[in-house]
Amino acid sequence: MSKFPSGCFVAGTDTGVGKTVVTAALSLRLCRQGVRVGVMKPIETGLNTDHSAHSDAMRLRASACVSDPLDAVSPYRLPLPLAPMDAARHAGETLDVDRILAAFGDLASRHSFMLVEGAGGILVPIARGVSFRDLIVRLGLPTIIVGRLTLGGINHGLLTIEALQQYGIVVRGIVLNQISQAQNSSVPQQNSSVPQMQRESCLQLLRELSGVPVIGPLPHEPLLNENWEQGVERVAESQALSELADLIKADAF
């Protein structure tokens, strides 16, 4: 029997790397394979309304096909697009890890497998002296990292793996997310082969140096911007998500 609760924390090397896409697609794929998946986005910032259909929490809940209370799926929903600690300050709130743990325990009692998505990178502060890394330790979950397949992705990925493992957190693997060519390189595009070389180098070196399974690249899916549900379905059917689901199931079930 695993010493971990049945579940996984989805962490990012940074903000905007595709954590919600990966979490939603993974929950959808596992759900379709008969796994009773529960989802959490413990803290979400940058919300205009608590019940926005486009919020990460609502999207995760829809992908996992669950009707759990939104207050359990996302205990803290804050309006300003800032790091959680500062967004909470502006809202006159203090984020309480025990409240998150209580919501997690409630959801975990209803589902056979939990996916919990972070916000930003693992050292983003939740409260003074408390980061998402500390929350992962308290939850007792192994972690999947989502990173960019881009110039800089090697450093970001290795730093994140090291920072997690220093705290005894098991890293199941890293998912490399494909982004558009325009975002993929800081080098002027006089040579169109350079971005592809950078992607291949990032993938190869992380496989050589990270010491964890490297999944991907996850294909860039433009449909996500036009129709989120259909875009997530396409991602869920990709080879990279198939590999990720198999990896998760091998370790958890």
Which residue reads 């390189």 in tokens? 185
Which residue reads 């394979």 in tokens? 33
Is the four-CA dihedral 166, 94, 82, 45 of positive or negative sign?
Answer: positive
- Show the beta-strand stretches assigned E in 4-83: 7-12, 37-40, 43-45, 76-78
Which residue reads 């996992």 in tokens? 64
Cα distances (Å, whole numbers) of residue 128 to 88, 116, 132, 134, 242: 12, 22, 12, 11, 39
**Is residue 41 flagged as an active site residue?**
yes
What is the SS3 assignment for 83?
Answer: coil
Question: Residues, the chain, total?
Answer: 253
Q: Which of 3, 19, 41, 249 is catalytic?
A: 41
Q: Taking each helix axis as running N to C, give the angle between helix 56-63 and helix 19-32, from 0 to 180 degrees, rounded to the nearest 10.
A: 20
Catalytic machinery residues: 41
